């Protein structure tokens, strides 16, 4: 199913995004974002979302849809569409139980050779289900995340009920660690703080999460503040 979304937007050289949404239940529609990386006229879609035909045509004008890259276990609704229609290869960590299709063509690990340059992955090791982040090491560093780290400059692409409730359920207009994600992904009696602190060794200035809005600058400081707040004792 195709949910409301925007156009293809450039965020850095050969890096693009589409801001969209997903219907969570009968009442709430929330924002959802897709990242796009172009290399040698081939595209890798990060956290893929379905597009209206006209926007999909614009996406194809950028290059051939070659790969999809799933960063988090709770995202994968539209992955089968791109594999079936375009023959895209599926890059994903093993072990996720929420979306088990399509089959993984390229299992992600610490030493995975990605299909584009200037990039590195950071894999969370302690989470209940797989999650990772992707760093593009150019243009000051662009960090792509799924649910673990989110940024809300505004509530665009959320419907009115979601806009009204977001500040009261842990999604204020700032950079945050996903509160529901953190609860679901933290093993009982443990903490993910050390992993987030380790992730801060990455050098980045921009942030695009699977939810919320693009943070165009100051992302490392904003993520640091979000980690401090989430684990404030």
| pLDDT tens, position by position, 22-46 | 999 999 999 999 999 999 999 999 9
At residue 207, the pLDDT reads: 98
Q: Is the dihedral of CA 145, 217, 8, 88 positive or negative?
A: negative
pLDDT (mean) for 166-187: 96
- Partnered with residue 43 across adjacent β-strands are 38, 65
Both structure tokens of 179: 């509160």
If you average pLDDT over residues 38-55, what whole number do you get? 97
pTM above 0.85, yes or no: yes
What mean pLDDT comes out for the span 179-192?
96
Q: Does the pLDDT at position 198 exceed 60?
A: yes
For residue 220, the tally of other CB atoms under 10 A from its CB is 18
Phi, psi of 137 (to 5 degrees): -90, 60
By C-alpha distance, which of 151, 166, 147, 144 is closest to 98?
147
Beta-strand pair 119-123/132-136: antiparallel
Say yes or no: domain 8-230 is CATH 3.60.15.10: yes
CA angle 17, 12, 93 (to 5 degrees): 55
């Amino acid at each position: 199913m195709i949910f409301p979304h925007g156009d293809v937007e450039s965020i850095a050289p050969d890096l693009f995004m589409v801001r969209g949404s997903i219907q969570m239940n009968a009442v709430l529609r929330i924002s959802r974002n897709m990242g796009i990386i172009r290399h040698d006229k081939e595209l890798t879609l990060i956290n893929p979302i379905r597009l209206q035909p006209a926007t999909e045509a614009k996406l194809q004008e950028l290059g051939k849809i070659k790969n999809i890259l799933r960063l988090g276990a709770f995202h994968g609704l539209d992955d089968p569409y791109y594999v079936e229609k375009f023959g895209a290869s599926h890059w994903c960590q093993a072990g996720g139980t929420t979306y088990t299709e399509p089959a993984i063509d390229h299992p992600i690990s610490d030493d995975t050779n990605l299909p584009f340059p200037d990039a590195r992955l950071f894999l969370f090791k302690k989470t209940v289900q797989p999650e990772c982040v992707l760093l593009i090491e150019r243009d000051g560093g662009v960090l792509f995340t799924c649910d673990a780290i989110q940024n809300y400059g505004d509530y665009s692409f959320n419907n009115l009920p979601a806009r009204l409730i977001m500040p009261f359920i842990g999604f204020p207009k700032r950079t945050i660690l996903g509160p529901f994600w953190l609860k679901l992904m933290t093993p009982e009696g443990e903490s993910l703080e050390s992993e987030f602190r380790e992730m801060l060794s990455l050098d980045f200035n921009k942030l695009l999460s699977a939810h919320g809005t693009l943070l165009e600058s100051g992302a490392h400081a904003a993520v640091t503040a979000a980690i401090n707040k989430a684990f404030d004792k």
